[in-house]
Chain A
């Protein structure tokens, strides 16, 4: 029996996964706090509680995400791109995934895989908030709609508005103006999802899009976002049941790969 853990220290959420013989037995997700290391320890503790095992039985821990070096208790760390690709190869095995679109809280990644699931190309945006989870989060707050309700609400839209600005700061005032002008919440929210989708798909096209497209990261839980993406892509995507923990799962697998040697 081999028990490993993967911790994904993202800008917005810290995700932890505990694996027993390469099956997920525990996971946890917590908003990123001031103290990254403490948050990561807490997340690991919760994931272990769910798995019903203690810290001492973990043979290896791999951290990933932009705060990966802060998790002092990890044995090693790996870039989120590699961890994500590893996670997709596991979660999406037998699917033949060739393109991964991963939206994070403060960045976006598009990864191209070959037929064997090896990474051949990737693109990353961590310079601009447009097209990231933060874009959705800030505008949800601006509209006074809980983030989790954005998706279901947007599906009621009959006539989505066109968000013309790219920058999140400008989009904030644009949305305020749209609300003032009396546009319905659902039409504005669908417009927001489409704006994010436009950015993401433009980026994905540079890398090259091939079926099957795998969509993960926190915003992939948003059903409206998935619809907007599929619309913009003109093809279906595969969205895993737990899109937030794919990268942490990949990190846990990399830890167990390392044990196998």
Chain B
């Protein structure tokens, strides 16, 4: 079995995917990103390869903010390129793919053949990113992974006035002191995140389908807020946090040589990406 590894070193979590042309994603792993990126990536590689033959591993492609720190990778691709590739793999009819990451939001327009024709990013300000949710959930003493479900219980969401993550954190503390309900505060926070991301996406004036990925897409409250803000067909993959890592694995040079022939669409996509990457 030929294996291709994609590693997405994000600001908060590092995601690793093992892709096989025969079986799709055969293994995946997520871990909190530590300051020792190189060491963390190595130990993740050791763990994910357990039960697999290391000689089957044909290539490793890294992506994400910390991609350059992965010494054992054969190739590095930007998070935009990788995410677009992963999103296209998931749904080739997607018009705009939105990566809602820990430290940034990136929206890219994907053309018919999987080519990125336009993109917008917010990586200057943490408002509306994963760490906004982390920080405010922490101030509420709520596990950030549960922030979504809890917020859905709210009947009357609070209005969060501060945009800045740091100031919103203090605002949350004072809301708690005033006896506001956790679910109402969380709903207000998730609505704010949805409004910010929605504004970015709406500025791209899409008519088509929109895919939301990245760790924040696991937050059901944000996704339901996005459905309100964006009046379009919205897709969220089952494991939205893995889109970038999968995309990276699929960008492996040489992957097309062993790709199964039966899937014609895949062939078109791959040859296109090979052209972009300059693979003969």
Chain A residues within 8 Å of B, Cβ to Cβ = 11, 34, 106, 127-129, 134, 138, 165-170, 173, 176-177, 180
Contacts and interface: CB of A to CB of B under 8 A. Distances in A.
Given A34-B177, A128-B125, A173-B11, A167 B35 contact: no
Contacts of A169: 103, 126, 131-132, 135, 165-166
Contacts of B165: 129, 167-169
B148 to A, nearest CB: 20
A198 to B, nearest CB: 13
B100 to A, nearest CB: 15
Among B124, B125, B166, B170, which residue has the most Cβ atoms of chain A within 10 A? B166
A129 B125 CA distance: 10
Contacts of A127: 162-164
Contacts of A173: 11, 103
Q: Which 7 residue pairs across A and B have the least CB separation, nearest first? A: A169-B126, A129-B166, A180-B35, A167-B126, A169-B165, A128-B164, A167-B125
A53 to B, nearest CB: 34
A177 to B, nearest CB: 6
B124 A129 contact: no
Contacts of A177: 35
Interface string B111-143: 000000000000011100001100100000000
B76 to A, nearest CB: 18
B164 A138 contact: no
Given A167-B126, A170-B126, A129 B177 contact: no
5 contacts: A129-B166, A166-B125, A167-B125, A168-B126, A173-B103
B52 interface: no
B167 A129 contact: yes
Nearest to A137: B166
A177 B103 CA distance: 15
Contacts of B163: 127-128
Nearest to A125: B164
Contact of B124 (A134, A138, A167, A180): A167
A188 to B, nearest CB: 14
A221 B167 CA distance: 23
Given A128-B125, A169-B131, A134 B166 contact: yes
Interface in B89-106: 103
B189 to A, nearest CB: 15
B35 A168 contact: no
A132 to B, nearest CB: 9
Nearest to A173: B11
Among A34, A166, A173, which residue has the most Cβ atoms of chain B within 10 A? A173
